[in-house]
Structure 1
Amino acid sequence: MAQPLNWQKSSFSGGGPGNECVELAAVNGEPLLRESDEPDRILPVTDHGLAALLHHLQVNRP
């Protein structure tokens, strides 16, 4: 039986109803992303791709 994934939400997420956000988990060291309001849609990403996404979000912060 597979272990359940330990999804982590951003510290910027309010955590209440209507506060959807992107969540991050890892399987065997490989990162996975999902949107909290669509938890069955899981996107595998590379370390490089995740770093690029995070950098883009930091640079383009509103």
Structure 2
Amino acid sequence: MHWRKSTYSSGGDGDTCVEIASLPSRIAIRDSKSPTRAPLTFPAPAFAALVEHLKAASDE
């Protein structure tokens, strides 16, 4: 799995952020401070809906 850090990571060594990885039909999410713990996974459409909801909420 190839993990990518959020573009909104804080400064420093970047260990206070969320990382995501694309799977064939799901998106995996993990906390960069605990990379060995099991990630959360979501169906790709549900993850896309979550991201859109968070974007809309941040515009309020």
TM-score (norm 2): 0.71
Aligned residues: 58
| Equivalent in 13, 34, 40 of residue 38 of structure 1 | 34
Which structure 2 residue ranges, 5 or more long, are not aligned? Answer: none
| Structure (1/2) with the larger strand percentage | 1
**Aligned letter for 2:39?**
I
Superposed CA RMSD: 2.2
TM-score (norm 1): 0.69
Which structure 1 residue ranges, 5 or more long, are not aligned? Answer: none
| Structure (1/2) with the larger helix percentage | 2
